[in-house]
Structure 1
Amino acid sequence: MPRYRLDVEYDGSAYAGWQRQPDLPTVQGAIENALLAFCGEVLTLRGAGRTDAGVHASGQVAHVELAKNWPAEKVRDALNAHLQMAGQRVSILDATPAAEDFDARFSAIGRHYLYRIANRRAPVALDHRKVWWVPKKLDAQAMHEAAQLLTGRHDFTTFRSTQCQAESPVRTLERLDVVRLADAIEIRASARSFLHNQVRSIVGSLKKVGEGGWSAAQLQAALEARNRAACGQVAPPDGLYLIKVDYPEV
């Protein structure tokens, strides 16, 4: 059966996450319904990352197998047409034929997330539910310097959800950068894979550093505690975006 890679963008505000759930709006469910309307098949879509409720994506990747060998452009355009008719905030950026062993989740060798903070006194209007509004001035440089203590291979028990189903809490964080752009702070994180709530947990703890509540040494102590209770506030999903997934070059 022909396999297709789908590159997907979505506004997660209206969805209960990526993964299909009964009686709840999800991104996976929206695309699978569009596939049913397009080709009459009940299909299961596999995504590279199961983003939580309220989390957005500009570079999610999924794959699906169709019974018929459709032109890739037809798949993209037809799915977008059905998504638009259904009022979904989901867009198929591209559809491309994929090798039969390509798996959006298990073939991935890198995932990249962006977290956006609006750091200003005035509330946000245009970016409502697209950023974390933090009115207290944050020290982005202090946040960045502390963040470097979390890069590399560590036991991230402190920074993962108690409901995380990963077998091991050990992950290698390849990049964790914090930059200020006027009234905005951007945090970019890269790793082969992430634990459940890992990025949001780290961002919430870095915010504590930025507002002067924690020193870099206290952030490191939280990491070394390997105890969820040592984590700072978990950042809301509003500011989190899955922006890119890496795969081996063919």
Structure 2
Amino acid sequence: MPFWTWTGIKAGRAATQWPQRGEDGQEGVLGMPRWHAENCQSECQNCADSCPTQAISIAGGQIVIDYGRCIVCQSCVEACPSGAMQPSGDWAFAVRQRADLHWQETMNSSAAQELQTRVARSLRHSLHIKHVDAGSCNGCESEIGALDNPFYNLHRLGIFFTPSPRFADLLLVTGPVTAPMHEPLLRTWEAMPEPRLVLATGTCAVSGAPMDQGYAGGSGLEDLLPVDVWLPGCPPNPAALIHALLLLLERQPQHVHGGRYAD
């Protein structure tokens, strides 16, 4: 008997029961840096100067943070002298509105109430996904491939990938949408039956960063397709991908409003 077959028999079922219960597989993994505005030093712009994708900028003397451009490099955390930028495990950053990836001084009260009261719905709907690589570095593809491993076992949630856009409910896009991929992406979208959904996967699909400054780079899906869920990250991990898919199906709540992550 092969060694790995014997190991599998001894270990039993390896798939996690998350998100219903159990571990999500991201214990100890760093997520988006969390900003503590009260610790900011006046006239300090170290974080903005260190950010390679302009996710952090200074406007009118105030820090502006766009998590849709963040590649989770932690440069701002290392550059911050006062602890205003701190590491976190905030990885579930999927949102329905692009504006929710911009940090806001105050969070809308109705959004905060919704965030606290919404709960995961029953896992009763299936989803078929057509994936299009629109110029990705293949980092996102590596994480997408992990969805089918024994731990995450995406099929247990009734979610499947399909090679044909004509059988797909969701168009999952990775990459900044480079010029050569612009037309193939739109043709894939047009071939999908209604109702059709779109998931912008990874920071470059959300905003084009950091590829939007290059000669062949694109600016992501904004103003190109009607995006239903935005998921930044470079790359987003498998648990973040699953959370985004379940958010799309209204089987998980959104954790981020106004750029703020709720524990």
Task: Indicate the TM-score class for this superposition, using the shorter chain for normalisation.
Answer: under 0.3
Q: Which of the pair is proportionally richer in strand? A: 1
Question: So what's the TM-score if we normalise by structure 1?
Answer: 0.27
